[in-house]
Chain A
Amino acid sequence: KQEVTQIPAALSVPEGENLVLNCSFTDSAIYNLQWFRQDPGKGLTSLLLIQSSQREQTSGRLNASLDKSSGRSTLYIAASQPGDSATYLCAVRPDRSQGAQKLVFGQGTRLTINP
């Protein structure tokens, strides 16, 4: 059974710092991995999606990497801003042989950027 773990559970940093959020998964047979942002009381906003054949994806100040063999992904946020404060969720989608429709979520990292 696929399990996704995110460390740390919470992170607080000063504005302007670069930071890394970590995600690990137990089964390397994945179709893709996705990073989401969730603001309090809101739904999910997709940030980056990495296919299993890719190593990384970039969008603006965000860069996500994927190392399928070691079961790890990182989300790098450059020059953090107070508006980046939110909970960041990592989710993996199993490959077709294991039911590619369902996402398995980590528990999230609650990020606070202090002005």
Chain B
Amino acid sequence: GAVVSQHPSRVICKSGTSVKIECRSLDFQATTMFWYRQFPKKSLMLMATSNEGSKATYEQGVEKDKFLINHASLTLSTLTVTSAHPEDSSFYICSAQGAGDPGELFFGEGSRLTVL
């Protein structure tokens, strides 16, 4: 199947700093990517839908100014956690949508963010 790569897989940062997480579709073009957040022993919560070349659509309750999403190309979307705080510590997973209507979804390996 198609491969979606996330980087970094783990990141530790100090409170108040910003962290960028990348999501790449390695062997296909993804016009749409999704960002999820997962709390310990909980399911995935959709944060936002990222469309190439346009603004992301955020789910209710997700602060768009804190979680900046950029989908600059058909193979790359980035999530930037701005002014991170300990409560932002979580597991972030992206998925990319392949061709078709709707296309199959492929998931990245996730990124573990720890804010000290």
Contact = CB atoms under 8 A, between A and B. Distances in A.
Interface residues of B, number: 24
B43 to A, nearest CB: 4
A42 B110 contact: yes
Contacts of A60: none
Interface stretch (A12-20, A61-69, A77-85, A99-107): A99-107
Nearest to A34: B105
Contact of B97 (A46, A89, A101, A108): A101
Contacts of A103: 34, 44, 46, 95, 105
Contact of B43 (A49, A93, A96, A108): A108
Residue with the highest number of chain B CB atoms closer than 10 Å, among A43, A49, A93, A110: A43
Contact of A44 (B102, B104, B107, B112): B107
B6 interface: yes
Interface string B83-116: 0000000010101010001101111111010000
Contacts of A76: none
Contacts of A106: 43
Interface string A40-72: 011111100100000000000000000000000
Contact of A46 (B1, B32, B112): B1
B110 to A, nearest CB: 4
Contact of A49 (B41, B46, B95, B104): B104
Interface of B: 1, 6, 32, 34, 41-44, 46, 49, 91, 93, 95, 97, 101-102, 104-110, 112
Interface of A: 31, 34, 36, 41-46, 49, 89, 93, 96, 100-103, 105-108, 110
23 contacts: A31-B102, A34-B105, A41-B110, A41-B112, A43-B6, A43-B107, A43-B110, A44-B44, A44-B107, A46-B1, A46-B106, A89-B43, A96-B102, A100-B101, A100-B102, A101-B32, A101-B49, A101-B102, A102-B46, A103-B34, A103-B46, A105-B43, A108-B43
